[in-house]
Structure 1
Amino acid sequence: MKRGFVVTFAIGVILTLFGLIWALQGFGVLQGSPMSNTTTWSVIGPITAVIGVGIAVFSWRKLSAK
């Protein structure tokens, strides 16, 4: 059961990283992509990052409680 929470934590961290990359591309900080300076990725990126942080925090709290 502990392995499941570790996997869930890793998925949350990876999802957060993807969200940050998408947000930075959407805001135009990271250039060189069709996603650069696009409003869609400026919205999807932060939402994805927040969901990833939520998943990671939930998993971390479950791991720490055991």
Structure 2
Amino acid sequence: MNSRAGRSVLVAVGVVAVIIGGVFAGQGANLIPGSTMTGDPKWFYIGLVIVIIGIVLVVRGLRRSAGGRG
């Protein structure tokens, strides 16, 4: 994705993934109550993986943006 729109989509999807992964991890770590996921360590690890994927997407989107200017 070399277009500006493509990079923006990468960043947006990455931010959403970080937020969703953070909620999953918070519920798995028993920090956010009110779900069947609460207190289940499996969801902590799933959330952690989603957060990492989200960070990678954001970094890739921003890096391509910075590299395309020069």
**Range of TM-score over shorter length:** over 0.9
| Number of equivalent positions | 66
Counterpart residue type for residue 22 of structure 2: L
Q: Deviations over 1:23-48 (max 9, x none)?
A: 00000000011110012101101111
Shift of 1:55: 0.7
Query: Could you state the TM-score of these two structures normalised by the residue count of structure 1?
Result: 0.94
Equivalence map 1:1-66=2 (5 Å): 1-66=3-68
Distance, in Å, in 2 between the alignment partners of 1:59 and 1:50 is 14
In 2, Cα distance between the equivalents of 1:28 and 1:42?
Answer: 9
- C-alpha RMSD over aligned residues: 0.7
Higher relative helix content: 1
Partner SS state of residue 36, structure 1: coil
TM-score (norm: length of structure 2): 0.89
